Amino acid sequence: MPGFIKSPAEIERMRVACRLAAEVLEMIAPFVQPGVSTGELDRICHEYIVGVQQAIPSPLNYHGFPKSICTSVNQVVCHGIPSDKRILKHGDIVNVDITVLKDGYHGDTSAMFLVGKVEAHAERLVRITQECLYRAIEVVRPGARLGDIGHVIQQHAEGNYYSVVREYCGHGIGSQFHEEPQVLHYGRPGTGMELQQGMTFTIEPMINAGKRHTKLSQRDGWTVETKDGRLSAQWEHTLLVTAGGCEVLTARRGEPWRAG
């Protein structure tokens, strides 16, 4: 457990990295429109992270990942590779996943975007998935357990007739992009590791409109899709466990944890 607890100095660095990641999502939002390619979104984010923020896009070359962000469109669950051939169109839903490395520490966050006019069932999936994340954040405090997080996500998703992806999960984060513990998005309350002040990790529920099963692209070795081809949505924040609850390190403007 001591290895999971961040020092005050580490927490300050994480606050900076996470704020930068949130700012990238805020910056890119106006560009997510019909007619733009996911490759162009990647280039805009890369130039902003490197040129403006003087930071590093964590995904680039991470275990061979070829781009600076992940863009997961429609049935893509996660790890979608940006491409100039993938042009966004009216009705698409897309997850833009940003991780920024600054002064040796990572900040990780993602958001869903509705492209143009989106059908009601797709908008509902995006909204319920965000509610899953928000409800999970509410249970994070010292003494809570990882199973409590997974349970509240699973309960809300399945209560709305969706399914929870099980092969991919949230994770500890700090000087390493992915650290222990794993943060599952399903589970039983009162089980799993007990949360302690100073822990930092992501919660990033991946919720499917159809069945939970996924498939990994044999073509690129990264892109994960729903096996049944139905839509998937994901939202992600990096959290710090505090004495009285948690701090949402990647909160964006307009969210309840972000002042101003």
Q: Tokens 């159809």 map to which residue?
A: 210
Confidence of residue 257 (pLDDT cuts 50, 70, 90): confident
pLDDT tens-digit series, residues 166-213: 999 999 999 999 999 999 999 999 999 999 999 999 999 999 999 999
Confidence of residue 1 (pLDDT cuts 50, 70, 90): very low
Q: Tokens 């403007």 map to which residue?
A: 253
Residue (of 42, 135, 153, 38) closest to 87 by Cα position = 38
Vertex 59: Cα angle to 57 and 64 (nearest 5)? 130
d(CA 214, CA 237): 22
pTM for this prediction: 0.96
- Do 107 and 55 form a contact (C-beta atoms < 8 A)? no
Residue (of 175, 177, 183, 202) closest to 7 by Cα position = 175
Residue-averaged pLDDT of the chain: 96
